[in-house]
Amino acid sequence: MAEDQPGARPSHLNFITGNANKLAEVKAILSSIPGLELESRDVPGDEIQGSIEEIARDKCRRAAAVVGGPVLTEDTALEFTSLKGLPGPYIKHFLSALGHDGLNNLLAAYPDKTATTVCTFGYCAGPGQEPILFQGKTQGKIVPARGPRVFGWDACFEYEGETYAEMDKNHKLEILQSLGLADAAGRGSDITYVANAISHRGKALAKLKSWLAGGDVETL
Amino acid sequence: MAEDQPGARPSHLNFITGNANKLAEVKAILSSIPGLELESRDVPGDEIQGSIEEIARDKCRRAAAVVGGPVLTEDTALEFTSLKGLPGPYIKHFLSALGHDGLNNLLAAYPDKTATTVCTFGYCAGPGQEPILFQGKTQGKIVPARGPRVFGWDACFEYEGETYAEMDKNHKLEILQSLGLADAAGRGSDITYVANAISHRGKALAKLKSWLAGGDVETL
């Protein structure tokens, strides 16, 4: 399929990130796609306000315009059920201002502490093209922080009894394997960036990977 | 002073609003500036994420680029002290998702219910020019809604014992007069848009008005 046809798969992708670890890990995961080259580009620019999907599409579209070619973007949101999905795409501002305790405090008035993590990868073929979104979601709940407080809100998001920060390497590997992102020999188990928000990011990446390989997956 | 000099005052201004009432009221208030023409323009576009000032500057700059001339923009934020200033510029998303009760609930874990309303008018002389910001702030507190629930969060922001929604016409007129925005005969007392968020918007407008008339005021 030619790259300028709708639905064509790219052979070259600019992953919009300033984070070398993210690039290395997404590269490792997508390395099984034949002929796909992935490099990183750091595109400055402000995210807009809006829904998760509006923000992702805008970011992806702008990046493609700046890069002048195919781009891959990533966004993470954390939706609190009791707050009708908020802070959602604004979670990073709330985490940095309020910390883990503050995130818990936002729900003090509500018995329902459930939350959904949403990871959205966006692909845009080039300037003026409509982005395609690959989304992964995981339901869990907001709890007082447990485990190493290293990655974002990992320590206060509990999934099946463990916070993301507490989840041990073997458990992460199992999930990676179940998503086809690590092999039976355990290769992929060192993928900490994906593993640390494994369910939502892993699901989104699994969709993206399958699509890049020519498969039909649910996109937005 | 020529209009292309830094600090020059405009004789024509495009107020970026889709709201006819807002235009009429700001027009009425600025009508005493000799030779100033004000018209409204509705410029679509997404607000960015960031600080109040970053968002205001970006909006003002973009509007000037679209209009191709001098513009006036307005933004309102509501900062909760206990939430380190949040929801701040994101207040409209929180109000529309959570309502007045939900705004109160965000503070359930905190004894400090104080909040600051922030109104920011932005002036940009034209494409490529640096915006000038005029800011007005008022300290009050978040309370269970009282008074008509007509304008935004007016019913749950209490200032000196009354919510903005409860504040009666005479009280609003006094404040307008103290800011020089209504005259002794009461002309200006029908200015509901300004009056309904009188302190912060009035303060910002008073600064803007004084600056437009050639005065020196505190800008950002």
Cα separations in angstroms, A180 against A125, A162, A203, B131, B169: 25, 22, 10, 51, 67
Per the CB < 8 A criterion, the answer to whether A138 and A203 are in contact is yes
* Phi/psi of residue A170, nearest 5 degrees: -65, -40
B58 interaction partners in chain A (CB closer than 8 Å): 46
State yes or no: B211 annotated in a binding site: no
Q: Tell me the domain boundaries of chain B.
A: 12-212
For residue range B121-157, what is the model confidence (pLDDT) as tens digits? 999 999 999 999 999 999 999 999 998 887 788 899 9
Per cent of chain A over pLDDT 90 is: 54
CA-atom Rg of chain B in angstroms: 17
Output the CA torsion B170→B145→A142→B51 (10° steps).
Answer: -20
**CATH label, A12-212, candidates 3.40.50.300, 3.90.950.10, 3.50.50.60, 3.40.50.620:** 3.90.950.10
| Contact state of B94 with A110 under an 8 Å Cβ cutoff | no
For residue range A154-191, what is the model confidence (pLDDT) as tens digits? 899 999 898 988 887 777 777 777 777 666 665 554 55
For residue range A113-146, what is the model confidence (pLDDT) as tens digits? 999 999 999 999 999 999 999 999 999 999 999 9
Residue A2: the pLDDT is 45
Mutation for B interface: A57, A106, A113, most B CBs within 10 A: A106
| DSSP for A70-112, written as a single string | -EEEEEEEEEEGGGTT-EETTHHHHHHHHHHHHHHHTTTT-S-
Specify the pairing of strand A114-124 against strand A132-142.
antiparallel
Cα separations in angstroms, A144 against A77, A100, B111: 19, 7, 20
Per the CB < 8 A criterion, the answer to whether A83 and A106 are in contact is yes
Q: pLDDT category, A65, cuts 50, 70, 90? A: very high
For residue range A187-208, what is the model confidence (pLDDT) as tens digits? 554 555 555 456 778 788 888 8
For residue range B156-183, what is the model confidence (pLDDT) as tens digits? 999 989 898 888 777 777 777 777 777 6
For residue range B94-106, what is the model confidence (pLDDT) as tens digits? 999 999 999 999 9
Per the CB < 8 A criterion, the answer to whether B158 and B114 are in contact is no
